[in-house]
Amino acid sequence: MNIVVFGAGSLGSLVGGLCAREHRVTLLGREPHIQAVRDSGLHVGGSFDFTTQPAARTDLPDAADLALVTVKAFDTTSAARALANCDLDTVCSLQNGLGNEERLATHLDGVLAGTCTYGARFVEPGRVDCTGIGEIVLGAPDGGDSARAEQVGRALRSAGIETIVTDDMPRRLWTKLAINAGINPTTALARVENGALADEPLAGIASEAARETAHVAREQGIDLGDEAAVAALDAVVEATAANTSSMLQDIDAGRRTEIDAINGAVVDRADDPVAVNRTLAGLVRAWERDR
């Protein structure tokens, strides 16, 4: 399969590197990373140890079978407009937050929803580390069976990527949102690794953010219980205890965060008060305004 990865940062480069072991892959990203990949290939370390040779560009190719979108949520609309100029069969979001699929579908056909729990860390231009082997889950954004999703699932599995094709992506997306709503801002504000959320006082804050998210999901017609959301959060905290969350990485680098698409999305969709999510979103937004 001919695959373009739109947003070759840490996660995009990791997924693209894994795919390049089996498929024709083009990484679309920024310099100097792209030039380093052109010159010496992409090295994937951490849980893996291999170097592959994907194509690497700062502009889109004319066509591809599949686009994997891994840009930050606030760049989704720009990505969609750019991808509209590429002849694509399928587009799959592997991003954080809610609303990415809708923004992509405004400009593109064949959009799939996806989640990815592989841990990724950008080491230096031309190198990323896998900080934890997870899985990709994908399917139709509104749920139900999807032949397109099955085809993409087969392609990813053939590259050795743990992949599940599901008919309940709305619930999966809200579960991932509950996990991110608990982990990302809490670790970013406290400046701690994920494992610190296993103990009080941070455990209580993260768990309440997840419960509030589950409550809002039910308001939206999604069957996600409070304890199921907290159990999913706890499982990720345990599995990624030594990891640094993406939002903490952004804050450490002085970059804009995805707070609007995570806790901000919970607040925007809530009918009832969601005090913890509102507070976490406000604190991170205040940090962003300062910088």
- Phi and psi angles of residue 24, each rounded to the nearest 5 degrees, phi first: -80, 120
Alpha-carbon separation of residue 253 from 124, 154, 229 (angstroms): 14, 36, 30
Give the Cα separation of 116 and 137 in Å (integer).
7
Nearest Cα to 39, choosing from 55, 21, 18? 55
Give the Cα separation of 291 and 287 in Å (integer).
7
b/e map of 70-99 (b: 16 or more CB within 10 Å)?
bbbbebbeebbebbeebebbbbbbbbbbbb
> Does residue 176 have an active-site annotation?
yes
Q: Which amino acid is at 5?
A: V
- Phi and psi angles of residue 50, each rounded to the nearest 5 degrees, phi first: -155, 160
Place of tokens 């979103």: 281
Give the Cα separation of 221 and 7 in Å (integer).
32
Catalytic residue among 72, 148, 176, 211: 176
β partners of residue 64: 88
Q: How would DSSP label each residue in 73-142?
A: GGGHHHHHHHHTTSEEEEEEE--SSSSHHHHHHTT-SSEEEEEE--EEEEEETTEEEEEE---EEEE-TT
Q: List Cβ neighbours of 58 (8 Å cut-off, separation of 6 or more).
A: 28, 29, 30, 31, 34
Q: In sequence order, what E strands does 222-274 have?
A: none
Alpha-carbon separation of residue 285 from 185, 189, 282 (angstroms): 10, 11, 5
The residues carrying an active-site annotation are 176
